[in-house]
């Protein structure tokens, strides 16, 4: 959360000449409710199932950049969908995420908690899974989405060589 997946994803799609989708936006449109409402009314497990269902649908498309929620890696079944493409991990330090999310009230996992502690906990829990990404981009304070996109674009050719040789 707060790493810039949607913003960078849109820019990356433009650079590549691809389409772009954000799985959270698709879920909200399909459910007719906010993610907060889905969590409140149906619970996290129901949201995670919707997330998996949407990922299964969108991963079938080619030439598409997909921004997913950070928790999508927690469901083992999602990895088979994610591996249809190149997986990029936008690795942002907790302090940066904290500053970006401090005033954000739309994240259900961050409601009524010690924000910095919760971010640390989520990152600790998810890092072993995130580290399975094909490409890790460490984000620095003050780095623009355009700069991050440029770094991803520069790294893609070497990642693709490795990706293809492992298949």
Tell me the pLDDT band of 164, cut-offs 50, 70 and 90.
low
Asked if the structure places residue 46 within a domain, the reply is yes
Confidence (pLDDT) at 36: 87
Given phi > 0 = left and psi -120 to 50 = alpha, else beta, which region is 56?
alpha
CA distance 139 to 116: 18
Residue pLDDT, tens place only, 116-148: 888 899 899 999 999 999 999 999 989 999 999
Confidence (pLDDT) at 1: 78
CA distance 145 to 124: 24
* Contacting residues for 137 by C-beta, under 8 A, at least 6 apart: 88, 89, 90, 91, 148, 151, 152, 155
Query: Nearest CA to 136 among 90, 84, 73?
Result: 90
Mean of the pLDDT values across residues 17-22?
A: 96
Mean of the pLDDT values across residues 28-32?
A: 92
Asked if the structure places residue 21 within a domain, the reply is yes
Could you list the residue range(s) of the whole structural domain that residue 120 is in?
5-162
Asked if the structure places residue 135 within a domain, the reply is yes
**Inter-CA distances, 95 with 68, 70, 128, 160, Å:** 21, 17, 19, 31
**The pTM is what?**
0.87
Asked if the structure places residue 115 within a domain, the reply is yes
Domain of 78, CATH number, reads 3.40.50.300
Asked if the structure places residue 139 within a domain, the reply is yes
Confidence (pLDDT) at 7: 95
**90 φ, ψ (degrees, to nearest 5):** -90, 100
Which of the 8 DSSP states describes residue 70? G
Q: Which two tokens stand for residue 4?
A: 């810039």
Residue 92 or 103, more confident: 92
* Contacting residues for 83 by C-beta, under 8 A, at least 6 apart: none
* Total number of domains constituting the chain: 1
Alpha carbon of residue 107 to chain centroid: 14
> Would you say residue 112 has pLDDT above 80?
no
Asked if the structure places residue 167 within a domain, the reply is no
Confidence (pLDDT) at 165: 55
Confidence (pLDDT) at 163: 61
Query: H helices within 32-107, ranges in order?
Result: 35-42, 44-58, 76-82, 94-101
* C-alpha torsion sign, points 40, 44, 46, 49: positive
Residue 116 or 161, more confident: 116
């Amino acid at each position: 959360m707060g790493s810039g997946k949607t913003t960078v994803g849109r820019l990356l799609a433009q650079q590549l000449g691809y389409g772009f989708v954000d799985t959270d936006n698709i879920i909200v449109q399909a459910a007719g409710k906010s993610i907060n409402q889905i969590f409140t009314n149906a619970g996290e497990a129901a949201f995670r199932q919707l997330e998996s269902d949407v990922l299964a649908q969108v991963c079938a498309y080619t030439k598409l950049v997909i921004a997913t929620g950070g928790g999508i890696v927690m469901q083992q079944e999602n990895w088979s969908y994610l591996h249809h493409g190149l997986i990029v991990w936008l690795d942002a330090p907790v302090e940066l995420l904290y500053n970006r999310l401090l005033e954000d009230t739309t994240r259900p996992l961050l409601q009524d908690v010690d924000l910095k502690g919760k971010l640390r906990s989520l990152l600790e829990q998810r890092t072993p899974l995130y580290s399975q990404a094909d490409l890790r981009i460490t984000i620095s304070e003050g780095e623009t989405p355009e700069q991050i996109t440029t770094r991803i674009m520069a790294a893609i050719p070497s990642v693709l060589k490795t990706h293809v040789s492992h298949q």
